Amino acid sequence: MQSDNPTAAILVIGDEILSGRTREGNAHHLAQVLTATGIDLQEIRVVADDTDRIVDAIRALDRTLGGAYDLLFTSGGIGPTHDDITADAVAAAHGTTVEVNPTARALLQERCDRMGVELNENRLRMARIPVSATLIDNAVSAAPGFSIGATHVMAGVPEVFRAMVAWLIPQLPVGRPVQSLTVEVRRGESEVAEDLKAVAAEYADLSLGSYPFRDDTGWGTNLVVRGLDAARVDQAMAALRGRIGL
């Protein structure tokens, strides 16, 4: 699919994801948001809680560091425990250091005061932010995420991650949302492959795909046409339906 939209990657950080202990859903949520807002997600990567691996991934993905994409979103590793090393790794990748951010500290202090708990050393870890980074609002639990370069660092807890995404996306440059049409056919992929191939060749500026499924009534295939121009997507779907006799 031809596109001049901003490009993006998602970096999911955490041993618990790689071990299978935690089911990852943040990337799925963010992928839907990016598609709807005109940001082209082109890669999702998962790395362990290992500083060198995180640094290498950020440098490979953040265009301001010579990486591949206009925007990089991370999930996980900015909590209060010893294995929450994302802030330090992001700082290292961007050639800076981490300090307790006064604004982040004030936000945490206010929340602790409301809850009647102490802002102890572990909680204060969540106010450690790379120097020169800007904060990402957290309407759920106060501890902010942050942005530096093209890297946008958010929590791994799904409720907090979604709140951060909702605040962050309106602050970013976006493009044209992807337009998509789907037709369901009660045939196998191999039976419609040639028709799909022919329409894809005619509409090379669009993305056409086939996705088989099975339900209570048998096998079928969803044929999907995607693109940035709604009229062009409509034309391609009409051509596809015509070829398969719908």
One-character DSSP codes across 149-189: TTEEEE-SSHHHHHHHHHHHGGGS---PPPEEEEEEESS-H
Strand 179-185 relative to strand 98-100, pairing = unpaired
pLDDT value at 95 more than 90: yes
DSSP string covering 2-44: ---SPEEEEEEE-HHHHTTSS---HHHHHHHHHHHHT-EEEEE
Residue-level pLDDT at 161: 98
Euclidean distance between the first and final Cα of the chain, in Å? 24
**If DSSP codes are grouped into helix, strand and coil, which group holds residue 238?**
helix
Strand 145-148 relative to strand 207-215, pairing = unpaired
Q: How far is 148 from 139, CA to CA, in rounded Å?
A: 20
Asked if 41 and 9 count as a contact pair (C-beta separation under 8 A), the reply is yes
- pLDDT tens-digit map of 43-69: 999 999 999 999 999 999 999 999 999
Residue 119 is classified by DSSP as: -
HSE value, Cβ hemisphere, 13 Å, CA-based, for 231:
0
Give the mean pLDDT of 119-142. 96
- pLDDT tens-digit map of 176-204: 999 999 999 999 999 999 999 999 999 99
Q: If you compute the radius of gyration of the chain from its CA atoms, what whole number of angstroms results?
A: 22
Q: How confident is the model at residue 172 (pLDDT cuts 50, 70, 90)?
A: very high
User: What dihedral do alpha carbons 67, 70, 75, 81 form, nearest 10°?
Assistant: 60
